Amino acid sequence: MVVGDFAIEIDTLVVGAGPGGYVAAIRAAQTGQKVTIVDKGALGGVCLNVGCIPSKALIQAGHRFEEAHGADEMGIKSDNVTVDFSKVQKWKDKVVNKLTSGVESLLKGNKIDIVSGEVYFVDKNTVRIMDEKNSQTYTFNNCIIATGSTPIEIPTFKYSDRIIDSTGALNLKEIPKKLIVIGGGYVGTELGTSYANFGTEVTILEGADEILGGFESDMSSIVKRHLKKKNVKIVTNAMAKKSEVTDDSVKVTYEVKGKEETIEADYVLVTVGRYPNTADIGLEQVGIDMDDRGLVKIDKQCRTNIDNIYAIGDIVAGPPLAHKASYEGKIAAEAIAGDKSEIDYNGIPAVVFSEPELATVGYTQADAEKAGFEVITSKFPFAANGRALSLGSGDGFVKLVTRKEDGLVLGAQIAGTNASDMISELGLAIEAGMSAEDLAMTIHAHPTLGEITMEAAEVAMGTPIHIVK
């Protein structure tokens, strides 16, 4: 191995060290591959540094602050609750640092070489990796591209000190008095809820008919109800038109039903989606097929049209979810090793850390019927569960979509507290080909939220215990 004018020869190159890339690198190393991973940013990617993890930390801090005000219904009262937001940010950063340092330890523990720099593809077996001082050529046998995505910027809402993306929202130095959120998807809803819990006056502007458009209306309507209790204003069918920024505020003009309105706030958070990081890294140079959105086309083993180059995560079709990227990373690494692993997205859950939480996996009723299945849809409410009531969280339900002929679990949706944890059992049921009877016959501890899944399965079988058939 020679550094300088000569190329460094490596076995498997992973480009990107986010939840897709670092997982792919570790799995590749476990199969006996000699792996090098490269990223121009911090290990852990967007998810660990400025996405999933810090946002959940901030959301949890918001919950704690809200809860600290007491619960009159339970007879708990408290006065003069305050928040030191600088300490909140330090705590959030501590969580992030612990996880990112853990990723570094995992990579080194698996004998993976870590390189910092930007990658440019020269051909199907060669890249140049550049940092601020040096440029080095590497040749590889196989490559997994996991470069992630970047928030979309609206032309009339250029990012600045007052117009921010999700990263900016996670790193504010103070709690805004007023916040405008453009985009009512999962990111906008999560961060909007978090700041509302801290006392911020939040307005969500959504261009579609409903917020959280990827979820069924009986789920998103519960979230909307809770947001309104927090005095969050939701404006749907609203098109953001222009912004006027001053030193300490920003004014937004938006249009609803042909009429223009204006609103002013300390900050505007833009969360209208993300675009794949596939430009300017030489993919066209190699001849890798992409669609008109810049997403890389792959087969069932995450292989591109170039047989030794694979792509995973936000740069391929599907929802930009960290766990989807990790799953694809394992598939790609195993495919390089000669395994027959293939992607099957039906068991991948989607979660929103809203209030209450939303989670879905597999088919919805509409999707199942469109696919040709004759289904039974069964609901059991959180309001009939002892644990949910003792938590003061009786709002929500578990819904099962089962095949009519044999009760096979095809999908599930949960709206309610801890939905993010509960959905895993139902993902397992789909992955394992389980039926409603299998779920109903599994003894669930009492009193737990998990019983709601069992009860929903009993509804599907026509034998519910704790609600009247």
Residue 189 labeled ligand binder:
yes
Q: Tell whether 148 is in a known binding site.
A: yes
165 marked as binding residue = no
Q: Choose, from 323, 444, 446, 466, the residue flagged as catalytic.
A: 446
List Cβ neighbours of 353 (8 Å cut-off, separation of 6 or more).
Answer: 55, 56, 59, 190, 420
Instruction: Confirm or deny that 273 is annotated as ligand binding.
Output: yes
56 is in an annotated binding site: yes
- 207 known member of a binding site: no
Q: Is 147 known to sit in a ligand binding site? A: yes
CA gap 196, 228 in Å, rounded: 10
443 Cβ contact partners less than 8 Å away, ≥ 6 residues apart: none
Task: List C-alpha distances in Å: 139 to 104, 108, 121, 126, 312.
Answer: 23, 21, 10, 4, 20
Most distant pair of Cα atoms in the chain: their distance: 77
3-state secondary structure of 203: strand
Does residue 226 carry a catalytic annotation? no
Alpha helices per DSSP H over 249-303: 283-286
Residue 185, marked binder: yes
**Residue 138 annotated as binding?**
no
314 annotated among ligand-binding-site residues: yes
Number of helical (H) and strand (E) elements in the chain, helices listed first: 14, 24
Annotated binding-site residue? 184 = yes
Task: Assign 86 to helix, strand or coil.
Answer: helix
- Calculate ∠ Cα 277-278-280, nearest 5°: 105
Tell me if 435 is assigned to a ligand binding site.
no
Instruction: Determine if residue 201 is labeled as part of a ligand binding site.
Output: no
Question: Is 393 annotated in some ligand binding site?
Answer: no
Cis status, amide bond into 356, omega within 30 of 0: yes
Residues linked to residue 268 through DSSP beta bridges, in sequence order: 163, 180
Q: Binding-site residues, please?
A: 56, 147-149, 183-190, 206, 273, 314
Q: Binding-site residues for NAD(+), please?
A: 183-190, 206, 273
Q: Binding-site residues for FAD, please?
A: 56, 147-149, 314
Active centre residues (catalytic) = 446
